[in-house]
Protein backbone atom coordinates (compact mmCIF):
# COMPACT_ATOMS: atom_id res chain seq x y z
CA UNK A 1 0.00 0.00 0.00
CA UNK A 2 2.99 2.33 -0.24
CA UNK A 3 1.67 3.76 -3.55
CA UNK A 4 -1.71 4.60 -2.01
CA UNK A 5 -2.87 8.25 -2.29
CA UNK A 6 -4.17 8.01 1.27
CA UNK A 7 -1.78 9.14 3.96
CA UNK A 8 -3.82 9.21 7.14
CA UNK A 9 -6.56 7.70 9.23
CA UNK A 10 -10.18 8.66 8.82
CA UNK A 11 -11.56 11.29 11.16
CA UNK A 12 -15.10 12.49 11.75
CA UNK A 13 -16.37 16.06 11.95
CA UNK A 14 -19.75 16.64 13.64
CA UNK A 15 -21.29 20.10 13.39
CA UNK A 16 -22.64 21.57 16.63
CA UNK A 17 -24.30 24.49 14.82
CA UNK A 18 -25.54 25.39 11.34
CA UNK A 19 -23.01 26.67 8.82
CA UNK A 20 -19.83 24.91 10.00
CA UNK A 21 -17.24 25.21 7.23
CA UNK A 22 -14.73 22.47 6.43
CA UNK A 23 -11.98 23.71 4.12
CA UNK A 24 -9.43 21.36 2.55
CA UNK A 25 -5.97 22.75 1.87
CA UNK A 26 -3.49 21.53 -0.74
CA UNK A 27 -0.16 19.86 -0.29
CA UNK A 28 2.97 21.16 -2.00
CA UNK A 29 5.17 24.24 -2.33
CA UNK A 30 2.20 26.59 -1.88
CA UNK A 31 -0.70 25.81 0.44
CA UNK A 32 -4.06 26.78 -1.10
CA UNK A 33 -7.72 26.13 -0.46
CA UNK A 34 -9.00 23.43 -2.79
CA UNK A 35 -12.31 22.25 -1.38
CA UNK A 36 -15.00 23.57 0.93
CA UNK A 37 -18.07 22.02 2.56
CA UNK A 38 -20.76 23.48 4.81
CA UNK A 39 -22.35 21.35 7.49
CA UNK A 40 -25.59 21.99 9.36
CA UNK A 41 -26.16 21.13 13.01
CA UNK A 42 -25.62 17.42 13.73
CA UNK A 43 -24.42 16.68 10.19
CA UNK A 44 -21.37 14.43 10.06
CA UNK A 45 -18.54 14.35 7.56
CA UNK A 46 -15.96 11.58 7.38
CA UNK A 47 -12.63 12.85 6.04
CA UNK A 48 -9.14 11.62 5.31
CA UNK A 49 -5.85 13.21 4.30
CA UNK A 50 -4.68 12.30 0.78
CA UNK A 51 -1.83 13.08 -1.59
CA UNK A 52 -3.65 16.34 -2.45
CA UNK A 53 -4.98 17.34 0.99
CA UNK A 54 -2.43 18.16 3.68
CA UNK A 55 -4.57 20.19 6.10
CA UNK A 56 -8.15 21.05 6.96
CA UNK A 57 -9.51 24.22 8.45
CA UNK A 58 -12.74 24.06 10.48
CA UNK A 59 -14.81 27.23 11.06
CA UNK A 60 -17.70 27.12 13.51
CA UNK A 61 -18.61 24.91 16.45
CA UNK A 62 -17.80 21.28 15.78
CA UNK A 63 -16.41 18.13 17.36
CA UNK A 64 -13.65 16.20 15.60
CA UNK A 65 -13.30 12.52 16.44
CA UNK A 66 -9.83 11.18 15.68
CA UNK A 67 -7.75 8.18 16.67
CA UNK A 68 -6.08 10.57 19.14
CA UNK A 69 -9.34 11.54 20.87
CA UNK A 70 -11.97 14.25 20.56
CA UNK A 71 -11.32 17.88 19.76
CA UNK A 72 -13.90 20.63 20.05
CA UNK A 73 -13.42 23.84 18.11
CA UNK A 74 -14.93 25.89 20.94
CA UNK A 75 -12.50 24.47 23.52
CA UNK A 76 -15.21 23.01 25.76
CA UNK A 77 -15.38 19.42 27.01
CA UNK A 78 -17.81 17.10 25.21
CA UNK A 79 -20.76 16.24 27.43
Contact 52, 8 (CB under 8 A): no
14-60: per-residue pLDDT in tens?
A: 999 999 999 988 877 777 777 899 999 999 999 988 877 788 899 99
For residue 60, tell me if it sits in a domain: yes
Contact 45, 13 (CB under 8 A): yes
For residue 67, tell me if it sits in a domain: yes
Closest Cα partner for 56 from 79, 26, 30?
26
Three-class secondary structure of residue 63 per DSSP: strand
Count of the separate structural domains present in the chain:
1
For residue 45, tell me if it sits in a domain: yes
pLDDT (0 to 100) of residue 1: 43
For residue 55, tell me if it sits in a domain: yes
For residue 16, tell me if it sits in a domain: no
pLDDT at 73 over 50: yes
Residue 56: which CATH number?
2.60.40.50
For residue 1, tell me if it sits in a domain: no
How far apart CA 68 and CA 47 sit, in angstroms, is 15
Average pLDDT over residues 2-19: 80
State the residue range of the domain holding 35: 21-72
Amino acid sequence: MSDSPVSGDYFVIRALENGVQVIGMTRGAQTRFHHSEKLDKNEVMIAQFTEHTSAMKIRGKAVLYTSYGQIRTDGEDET
